[in-house]
Amino acid sequence: MPTSTKRKGRRPSPPAVSAVGLRKAYGDKTVLDGIDLHIPEGSVFALLGPNGAGKTTTVQILSTLISADGGQAQVAGHDLATAPQAVRGAIGVTGQFSAVDGLITGEENMRLMADLHHLSRSRGKQVTAELLERFDLADAAGKPVQSYSGGMKRRLDIAMTLVGGPRIIFLDEPTTGLDPRSRHTMWGIIRELVTGGVTVFLTTQYLEEADELADRIAVLNDGRIAAEGTAEELKRLVPGGHVRLRFTDPHAYRNALAALRDARRDDEALAVQIPSGGSQRELRSLLDSLDAAGIEADELTVHTPDLDDVFFALTGDDVATPAKEATR
């Protein structure tokens, strides 16, 4: 077999990121309490967690901006502790600590980046033009960045990161604060990057974003990975399916609470939530009991488990995310 001869002796490519037991504390506050990660090349990995869970800290460690107190990690096959320079050469980072300078133009920002990567003048010019075009910034290239919209700044930030041709990109909350259209544009960009062979490590508070983009998702809580898997695997972890009945008449609401055992109450919304897999048989049985008790709900919705349920089950009820708030 010709291919096996060709491949003989070639080592399989290392994972994009591999970490064991990463720890970090600030004073007596433990931020990361033993994080293990294994991210194959060419995939999208989402680190999901509530505010303060340690997402940015993880990105900062893996991108060599800060050092861990314990544990080991390799990024693009290079050890963080012994070869940080090689790690830096293989990665790009964008996000909360953006490198974009608002006072100069988009093109000037790009050219600065090209200089930092020691590209020749003509190569720098070519790469800048290509990337500005690709990220739909060619028309705004000559304008100061402070006049750009939030979405344009994020696109420029990613374009600047790509100047060095990174194999792994860390995106720290890439769509926080963007409107829905810009968010979708950003998702398209991330998908395109992966098609081009780049590995994407993104942090997000948006469950929908992780669900849309990530091959694998890890939920970070209290400094530990509470669960890790594909979106489907995570959804199977929690029994989040339920039927929700909403009432406008407080009397009918109270009757429903009395008639339905296992119901969770929401006094503010006058709604009850009954655990259910959502099958036809279960729904019929529920409707039969409502009929028997003479109860008529104003609204009935069937809810199958989603990442919201996983997130709330794993990170505790007191945590609110933008995605969850939007559904309230």
Judged by the rule CB under 6 A, the positions of this chain that interact with ligand ATP are: 26, 31, 49, 51-57, 205
Distances (CA, A) of 65 to 54, 69, 84, 87: 14, 13, 10, 11
Please tell me the number of Cα atoms within 13 Å of 33 on its side-chain side: 12
How many angstroms from the chain centroid is the CA of residue 256? 39
Q: What's the CA gap between 210 and 228, in Å, rounded?
A: 12
CB nearer to ligand ATP: give 210 or 270.
Answer: 210
Tokens representing 99 are 């490198």
CB of 82 to ligand ATP, least distance (A): 24
Token pair of 1 as six digits: 């077999």
**Among residues 176 and 289, whose Cβ is nearest to ligand ATP?**
176
Residue 26 Cβ vs ligand ATP, minimum distance, rounded to whole Å: 3
**Closer of 28 and 268 to ligand ATP (Cβ):** 28
CB of 321 to ligand ATP, least distance (A): 10
Q: How far is the CB of 55 from ligand ATP (least distance, A)?
A: 3
Classified as helix, coil or strand, 169 is: strand
How far apart CA 46 and CA 130 sit, in angstroms, is: 28
**Distance between CA atoms of residues 319 and 229, nearest Å:** 21
Strands 199-204 and 168-172, how do they pair? Answer: parallel
- CA–CA separation, 158 and 178 (whole Å): 15
Q: Contact, 23 vs 60, CB < 8 A?
A: no
Least gap, CB of 207 to ligand ATP (angstroms) = 13
Region for 276 from its dihedrals, namely left if φ exceeds 0, alpha if ψ lies in -120 to 50, beta otherwise? beta
Helix H or strand E encompassing 88: helix 84-90
Amino acid found at 8: K
Taking the least distance from each CB to ligand ATP, the nearer of 54 and 151 is 54
Comparison of 163 and 213: residue with beta carbon closer to ligand ATP: 213
Instruction: For the CB of residue 208, give the shortest distance to ligand ATP in the complex, in Å.
Output: 16
Residue 54 C-beta: closest distance to ligand ATP, Å: 4
Nearer Cβ to ligand ATP, position 98 or 289? 98
CA dihedral of 125, 126, 129, 133, whole degrees rounded to 10: -170
Nearer CB in complex with ligand ATP: 172/211: 172
Closer to ligand ATP at the Cβ: 177 or 250? 177
Minimum separation from the CB atom of position 149 to ligand ATP (A): 22
Residue 108 or 208: the one with the smaller Cβ distance to ligand ATP is 208
The encoded tokens of residue 26 equal 């600030």
Q: Which residue has the tokens 């007191």?
A: 318
Least separation, in Å, of the C-beta of 3 and ligand ATP? 44
Handedness of CA 162, 167, 173, 179 (dihedral sign): positive
